[in-house]
Structure 1
Amino acid sequence: MTTSAVGVAVLDDIDARPGSTTSLLRTLIGVHLRPLGGVISSAALVRLAGDLGIPPARARTAITRLKQRGLLLSTSGGYAIDPAALPMLRRGDRRIFDVRTMSEDDGWMLVSATVPESRRDLRHQLRRRLLYLGAGSVAPSLWILPGHLFDEAHELLHEIGAREYATLFLATDPQPSRPLPEAVADWWDLVALRAEHDRFLASVDALDLTRPFAAHLGLIDSWRVLPYIDPGLPTALLPADWPGARSVETFQRLHAELAARAADHVRAVAADDRPATPPAR
């Protein structure tokens, strides 16, 4: 996991449960603070949390937690994004807003990783992070991903210190002992993935689109984990009624409809009480 200069683990997209107070504030910070120059006043952040239905006391507790996890720094009168969190936020931008779907002609990659018994902690972390990269499990210590995730897999292995235990392969035509769609259904937990898509689509139905800021934050917060765990497999390898394309279309349509009005609201609130610029680090 990403770590700051002082060794604090930075809260990643996969570490906060969508819909929780911490998750909503983490999403608010990730989406809106960078366009504001990375800083916001305490009063403005708490007020925006209130617009999401979060009481002030609970908001302040969550803000403290986000500071402890390396996402925020205290400034004179407000908060700033910790520079150590920026790579994680940029990675989230790519996965959340630039959704890629694998075509039948795209290649695959395999990750073979044998971590020593003495590094059980790393073995657990590697498995967890590969799952949240969208990897399927072919066999113990052997993972498969769409080829377009090669750079992210390579970055992940270096980030957690597992590169020395892993060998990466590129492939064009996997040949399992049974039809490839059947193998895919074993390599990935399609039942769990479908449940996540159904959860997201149900959450969209509950959004109040007359409140664009809250609706937009709720949309992104509900969506943000899906692009990590769903690798965007080719349609031919998925069940005929797979909801993935509908989820992507729904997210992209509502994001385009709500984003500008949500940003206008944040700018207006932030302009009421600008914090001092944080000192250089």
Structure 2
Amino acid sequence: MKPQSMLFTIYGEYVRHHGGEIWVGSLTRLMGEFGMSEQAVRVAISRTVSQGWLKARKIGNRSYYSMTPRGKKRLDEAGARIYKQTSAKWDGKWCITTYNIPEKQRAMRDQFRKELSWMGFGMLANSVWISPNDLADRVKEIAESYNITDCIEIFTSEHIGISTDKQLVEKCWNLDEINKAYQEFIDQYRPQYEKLREQVEKKQEISDGECFVEKTKLVHEYRKFLFIDPSLPEELLPNFWVGRDADDLFRNYYALLDPGAVRFFLSVFESAPDKDLALS
């Protein structure tokens, strides 16, 4: 687990639900549970700040960090997808994004592609990306933030052939590879879940610290599917889709670990003092 990636997990899973700001000392203590040194944590924080995801606030000789608006939006998007509810029936519409970003802006073009992939778009052809989800407004926001609106076009369309919608999906996403990744997740975490459930049933004590480490690892690992699973509606999924079983396992294991994990986090968590108190 890389420190910078773990920062996003800690903020997304804990800090954003408790005021959004945390003392750097609390961060180093929490991430130290995963064997990360204070220096490694501070380097990761510095990089995340320089990339525009985190911002610092100094009170006395203490530094407190919170997500920037950009960071909060990313965490909200991730949370909505990780803890997704059953989606409504698909309306049959496709969101299509095309771009013509010049070679001199190659770095921007690559970054825009990464954003499209993160949102769940699949590449149908060179510079043509599609999604069955209504993501037009989000694409507009990203284009505006990167100042490339003159290079982007967005359409909403129906697919009328020649292939079927499911065949179209197969052209844009490797569902077999995603299924394989979900199966590997299940193979790794089901034995741990069964063991913990047995401990709970036998009323064996499980430390809050253990719950924090295991739950954070679980979320950290499951968060990786945000980068490969396009969150397709049920109508477009194959009959054999391991993602459903992986999601059930994630939710059940999460529910067992969550109470103790939150207690441990709160025992270490220190936010900034009241603003008026800090100024007095």
Matched, 1:152 2:138: yes
Q: Comparing 261-270 with 73-82, which one deviates more in the overlay?
A: 73-82
Q: Which of residues 174, 179, 183 in structure 2 aligns to 1:194?
A: 179
Distance 2:24 2:172 in 1: 46
Name 2:44's counterpart in structure 1.
Answer: 62
Superposition deviation, residue 105 in structure 1: 3.9
Separation (CA, whole Å) in 1 of partners of 2:109 and 2:124 = 16
Aligned letter for 1:115? Answer: I
The number of equivalent residue pairs is: 259
Counterparts of 2:85 and 2:58, CA distance in 1: 35
* CA apart distance, 1:234: 3.7
RMSD: 3.0
Map 1:81-96 → 2, pairs under 5 A = 81-84=66-69, 85-96=71-82
SS in 2 for 1:91: helix
Alpha-carbon distance, 1:51 to partner = 2.3
Whichever residue aligns with residue 204 of structure 1, its letter is Y
For the structure 1 residues 39 and 130, does the alpha-carbon distance in structure 2 shift closer, same or farther, using more than 3 Å as the test?
A: closer
**CA pair 119-176 structure 1, distance change in 2 beyond 3 A:** farther
1:1-281 to structure 2, matched below 5 A, reads: 19-70=1-52, 71-76=54-59, 77-84=62-69, 85-98=71-84, 101=87, 103-172=89-158, 174-205=159-190, 210=206, 211-270=210-269, 275-276=272-273
Q: Does the 8 A contact of 2:190 with 2:249 survive in 1?
A: no
**What amino acid is aligned across from residue 258 of structure 2 in structure 1?**
A
- Partner-residue secondary structure (3-state), 1:132: helix
1:81 to partner: Cα distance: 0.5
The TM-score, its normalising length taken from structure 2, stands at 0.77
Structure 1: how far apart are the matches of 2:112 and 2:88?
23
Is the 2:211–2:261 contact (alpha carbons within 8 Å) kept by the matching residues of 1? yes
Cα distance, 1:74 vs. partner? Answer: 5.0
**Greater Rg by CA:** 2
Residue deviations 1:179-235, cap 9 Å, x none?
A: 332232112122442343234334434758542211221122112232353222244
Q: Would the aligned equivalents of 1:112 and 1:142 in 2 still touch at CA under 8 Å?
A: yes
Give the conservation status (yes or no) of the 8 Å contact 1:75–1:277.
Answer: no
Residues 222 and 28 from structure 1, CA distance in 2 versus in 1: closer, same or farther, beyond 3 angstroms? Answer: same
Deviation string for 1:133-167 (max 9, x for gaps)? 11122222211101333332332332333332222
- Give the letter aligned to residue 179 of structure 1: T
In 2, the alpha carbon distance for the partners of 1:183 and 1:82 equals: 38
Residue aligned with 2:101, SS: coil
Secondary structure in structure 1 of the residue aligned to 2:240: coil
Amino acid at match of 1:188: W
Q: Which runs of 5+ in 1 are unaligned?
A: 1-18
Paired position in structure 2 for 1:14: none
Equivalent residue letter for 1:75: K
- TM-score (ref. length: structure 1): 0.77
- Give identity over the alignment, percent: 25
- Distance verdict in 2 for CA 1:277–1:29, change over 3 Å: farther
> How far off is 1:176 after superposition?
3.1
- The structure-2 alpha-carbon separation of the partners of 1:140 and 1:118, relative to structure 1 and needing over 3 Å to count, comes to same
